[in-house]
């Protein structure tokens, strides 16, 4: 038996899991946007999101150089992203959900950081005080957190579901030249990144769709020219009209 992962989980469970209880149902019946990191974000007026509930993912903080997002939450579970974003996550003034295993290697002191535990076998976790399935994408993790918070409608933007890369899914490579797969050319430029697994993520996107629907909730996709075909499409303008205000 591999004791280390078990010991890590037990430590997290005893010290951090209870802190997630305060988020349970706090946005019941509301709607939110989950903001991916695709280049399609550059085709949108993201300033219109400031009055809405939003989840930013990974290095979305780079977008703040162009437009003030006024994010509600941030989520990151990728070990490389967490390692590359220590200073930015340390300075976050909003609840920032990080995967405990990679984040525990770093001495974060920011009281706004909340630790979640990823690596579950369970397909979809309704209770984030337990292990969460990553589903090959941080977007899926954010969907589970949004469910725990009680959001009734989740709207995706910037989830392009399209990457230009050569190699196997999850293979780690150094990004040579500008990053054309994300909204900022410097996103992974000159840094290590893990190649996406679109097939696996699509499987879990379908799981999320089913779980939300079974509980009277829905996920919509307002990504501009997005390639994901799992969720009903909606324009960004219509999404803004339907979305809850803070």
pLDDT value at residue 141:
98
pLDDT value at residue 3:
47
CA 103-42-196 angle, 5° bins: 45
Burial class (CB in 10 A: 0-12, 13-18, 19+), 132: buried
pLDDT value at residue 2:
41
Query: Domain limits of the chain?
Result: 3-242
Other Cβ atoms closer than 10 A to 48: 14
CA distance 53 to 20: 18
Query: pLDDT tens digits, residue range 122-148?
Result: 999 999 999 999 999 999 999 999 999
CA proximity to 22, closest of 149, 118, 151: 149
CA distance 222 to 100: 30
Give the residues of the chain that fall short of pLDDT 50.
1-3
Q: What CATH code would you report for 3-242?
A: 3.90.1480
pLDDT value at residue 5:
74
Residues 6+ apart with CB under 8 A from 70: 49, 50, 51, 54
pLDDT value at residue 14:
97
pLDDT value at residue 129:
98
Burial class (CB in 10 A: 0-12, 13-18, 19+), 232: exposed
pLDDT value at residue 175:
95
DSSP secondary structure letters along 54-84: EEEETTGGGGGGTS----SEEEE--HHHHHH
């Amino acid at each position: 038996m591999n004791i280390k992962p078990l010991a890590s989980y037990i430590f997290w469970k005893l010290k951090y899991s209870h802190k997630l209880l305060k988020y349970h149902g706090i946005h019941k019946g509301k709607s939110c946007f989950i903001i991916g990191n695709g280049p399609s974000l550059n085709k949108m007026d993201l300033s219109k999101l400031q009055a809405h509930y939003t989840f930013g993912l990974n290095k979305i903080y780079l977008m703040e150089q162009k437009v003030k997002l006024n994010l509600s939450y941030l989520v990151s579970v990728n070990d490389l992203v967490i390692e590359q974003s220590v200073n930015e996550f340390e300075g976050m003034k909003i609840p920032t959900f990080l995967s405990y295993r990679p984040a525990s290697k770093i001495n974060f002191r920011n009281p706004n950081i909340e630790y979640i535990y990823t690596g579950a076998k369970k397909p979809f976790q309704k209770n984030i005080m337990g292990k969460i399935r990553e589903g090959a994408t941080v977007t899926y993790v954010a969907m589970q957190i949004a469910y725990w918070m009680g959001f009734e409608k989740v709207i995706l933007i910037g989830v392009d579901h399209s990457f230009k890369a050569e190699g196997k899914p999850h293979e780690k490579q150094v990004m040579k030249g500008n990053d054309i797969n994300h909204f900022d050319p410097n996103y992974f430029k000159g840094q290590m990144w893990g190649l996406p697994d679109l097939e696996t993520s699509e499987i879990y996107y379908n799981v999320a769709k089913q779980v939300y629907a079974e509980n009277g909730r829905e996920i919509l996709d307002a990504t501009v020219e997005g390639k994901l075909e799992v969720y009903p499409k909606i324009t960004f303008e219509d999404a803004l009209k339907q979305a809850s205000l803070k």
